[in-house]
Amino acid sequence: MKKKIIILPGDGIGKEVTAEGKRVLEKIAEIFDHTFEFEEAVIGHDAIESTGQSLPDETLSKLRNCDAILFGAVGHPKYDNDPTLKVRPEQGLLKMRKELGLYANLRPIRLFDELLESSSIKAEILRGADILFFRELTGDVYFGEKGRKDDGRTAYDVMIYHRYEIERIAHKAFQAACTRKRKVTSVDKANVLESSRLWRETVQEISKQYADVTLEHLFVDSAAMKLIQNPRSFDVILTGNLFGDILTDEASQIAGSMGMLASASVGDTVGLYEPIHGSAHDITGKGIANPLASILSVALLLDISFGLKEEADTVIKAVEQTLKAGFRTVDIANPKTVKEKIVNTQTMGNCVLKQLSMINEPISQ
Ligand code: IPM
Ligand code: MG
């Protein structure tokens, strides 16, 4: 298979983890005899510094002409601490999602048994948890009208959803549930918000087309509690942009660390794959970032954008074997275990590459 992939490292640890994700793609190409052509482009803080734009036109046109995108992270503390700055790295990410029509953000909460003890949640609560989030990605307060009035002393961000936006993500969530445990939990705040009442009404209607999928509704505050109380009770969670952003950071603790969570953003055209974590400038340059979220994003890329299921499963297996062998970056290290080997970003990447070669020895002979 011949494919063109744009690598968009972005800022902070985005660069460090994406480098490892790219190496995994190269290895997969070598083992399975594919031709992956790579091209890099800039986004975020780096892009602002070099072009004045957080998503330069040149980057956008490259993204429109490729088969998949592997993205790192955007952000810089300079902007976090100065809310008055008008051009911000995150705008590049939001514009990219909107321009490419990436309305469905899939965030699988995959719990590797080896990391059961690394989570701050008790192992007996976590064991067997397997959740797939469908976070709506191009609507909500993120893209509603926003502004200031009264000489800047009043600010607003409109939470807005159109029916078609809810319908298309609901269909994706129900379709996925059909291949899993056949349960969709729709999360909203319908006891307060009109946009949530439209959300609930629409999801109820769509659910009629999926008679063998159980639909439950939860208010977002209750969902936040139940995620930690009983994560096993969930299968597919369908929610809006803002609630999905918050709940998936929370849910990352079920998988042990933010450094383990991959995501896929899809819509009608090209797919974008990225870890859910941010640019983490506090650890940038130290070489300690966990590359597994980027590597697991590569697995999603291979599966969803290229339909290469075997290759995707091989990547997941290699990650599992690496963890079994005891290799850990600091974020997933369990202080109680002496058998673990704490490694840096690149070494973790090397371990996965080694496992990939080992898993595939019989096939390539
Ligand atoms: C995420 C991030 C982004 C979001 C930020 C960086 C704009 O937190 O992908 O979850 O809020 O969507
Ligand atoms: Mg987030």
Instruction: pLDDT band for 364, please (50, 70, 90 cuts).
Output: very low
Q: Is the pLDDT of residue 231 over 70?
A: yes
- Ligand 2 centroid to Cα of residue 151, in Å, is 31
Residue 340 shares a structural domain with residue 245: no
State the DSSP code for 276: S
In one-letter notation, the amino acid at residue 185 is T
Residue 101: both structure tokens together:
């029509």
* pLDDT at position 80: 86
Q: What's the mean pLDDT in 91-106?
A: 97
* pLDDT at position 334: 84
**Ligand 1, atom 11: closest residue by C-alpha:** 245
* pLDDT at position 365: 40
**Ligand 1, atom 10: closest residue by C-alpha:** 245
- pTM of the model as a whole: 0.95
Instruction: pLDDT band for 360, please (50, 70, 90 cuts).
Output: confident
| Share above pLDDT 70 across residues of the chain, in percent, rounded to a whole number | 98
Query: What is 326-362 written as a DSSP string?
Result: TEE-GGG--TT-SS-EE--HHHHHHHHHHHHHHHHHH
Averaged pLDDT of the chain: 96
Crossing angle between the packed helical segments 309-324 and 13-32, to the nearest 10 degrees? 120
Residue 167 shares a structural domain with residue 76: no
Residues 24-78 have pLDDT tens digits of: 999 999 999 999 999 999 999 999 999 999 999 999 999 999 999 999 999 999 9
Q: Which residues are catalytic?
A: 142, 189, 221, 245, 249
Q: Is 27 domain-assigned? A: yes
Residues 208-218 have pLDDT tens digits of: 999 999 999 99
Half-sphere exposure of 300 (CA within 13 A, CB side): 27
* pLDDT at position 268: 81
Residue 73 shares a structural domain with residue 142: no
Q: Is 114 domain-assigned? A: no
Q: Which of 220, 254, 288 is the last residue of a domain?
A: 254
Q: Is the pLDDT of residue 363 over 60?
A: no
3 state DSSP class of 41: coil
- Residues in the chain, how many? 365
Q: Is the pLDDT of residue 338 over 80?
A: no
- Ligand 1 centroid to Cα of residue 245, in Å, is 7
Residue 72 shares a structural domain with residue 89: yes
Q: How many domains does the chain have?
A: 2
